[in-house]
Amino acid sequence: MNLMSAIPTPAWVAGFKVATTSCEHCRRSMPVRQISARKVGIRMGERWYCSAPCFGAAVEQKLTELLTSRRLEQAGRMPRMPLGLSLMSRGMLTQTQLKEATDEQKESGEDIGEVLIRQGVVSEEQVTAVRASLWGCPVFDVQKYVLRSKINIPPTFVRRYSAIPLHYVDATKLLLVGFVQGVEYGLLYAIEQIAGCKTQPCFVTPSDFQARLREVEQAKKMFKDTVRREVKFESPRPLAEMARLLCGHGVDLEAEEAIIGKCKDHIWARLKCGPGDVDLIFNTL
């Protein structure tokens, strides 16, 4: 995003009207073709901002809306029966085995499914199938398909929610997202806002999740120039400071567009800088 000190606002050139756009904040205008040629200003949604001060004011307003919104991100059906009881009701483990796994879970802090798989009581395929049934989602076999996805999820969210993009269909703008332990609807909503697509959750086994993760990492190594980078801010920051940091990165990277969303206790901003888009992740807790 290049800063603008003075903006020419010609209405007519050689008898032809020039298409212009105006800054949403200060209302100064500029020819559209000049904006594209010089990469002047930055867009956020359908609006264009001519300079860092104007963009910074818009970012602060957007962050205020996101942080004060009462929207329920966790909309959707939640399982009524715990995984262990569901496995036991299906005859896959005994009450004694469940108690032993639960006792170990309390000490290790692991997920109950991970404990049961490690103990050899049930297979990961069985655990995944039951989880999918509880959430009303299908199981996706990663090994059977050639997967392609041009939409990426920041590593922070991949690790935190054990979620990974599996396949994207251009014709329908649908992204298939695989989960291991449970569907995080807040993440799905954030992806839709940032990437402008629809999402469909499914479940994958832990092994398939790791296999897909390795494929994504290998692709990053092959296409270093086009891979998205993540900048994470661990410590919670005041709203004004978040806006300043986001605006500063936009200026430094000469970003053409900024898209800002919220995923539970994180603000997720994507700065579109050509092939090397950058994700900024702010912790709000």
Please indicate, yes or no, whether residues 102 and 56 belong to a single structural domain of this protein. no
Distance CA 235, CA 270 (A): 19
76 is a domain residue: no
What pLDDT does residue 34 have? 47
Pairing of strands 266-272, 278-283: antiparallel
Instruction: Work out the average pLDDT over 175-180.
Output: 97
Whole-number average pLDDT of the chain: 85
Please indicate, yes or no, whether residues 152 and 277 belong to a single structural domain of this protein. yes
**Residue 266 and residue 237 in contact, taking contact as beta carbons nearer than 8 Å:** no
Please indicate, yes or no, whether residues 167 and 241 belong to a single structural domain of this protein. yes
What pLDDT does residue 117 have? 95
pTM of the model: 0.83
Please indicate, yes or no, whether residues 250 and 172 belong to a single structural domain of this protein. yes
Distance CA 248, CA 142 (A): 40
63 is a domain residue: yes
Distance CA 270, CA 257 (A): 8
- Model confidence over 54-111: pLDDT tens digits? 999 999 999 999 998 766 555 556 777 899 999 999 999 999 999 999 999 999 999 9
| Reported confidence tier of residue 142, pLDDT bands at 50, 70, 90 | confident
Which helix (H) or strand (E) covers residue 219, if one does?
Answer: helix 206-222
Please indicate, yes or no, whether residues 124 and 237 belong to a single structural domain of this protein. no
Instruction: Work out the average pLDDT over 23-34.
Output: 64
Please indicate, yes or no, whether residues 166 and 231 belong to a single structural domain of this protein. yes
Residues with Cβ within 8 Å of 215's Cβ and at least 6 positions away in sequence, in order, are 147
DSSP letter at 207 equals H
Give the position of tokens 């005041």.
Answer: 238
**Residue 48's domain spans which residues?**
12-68
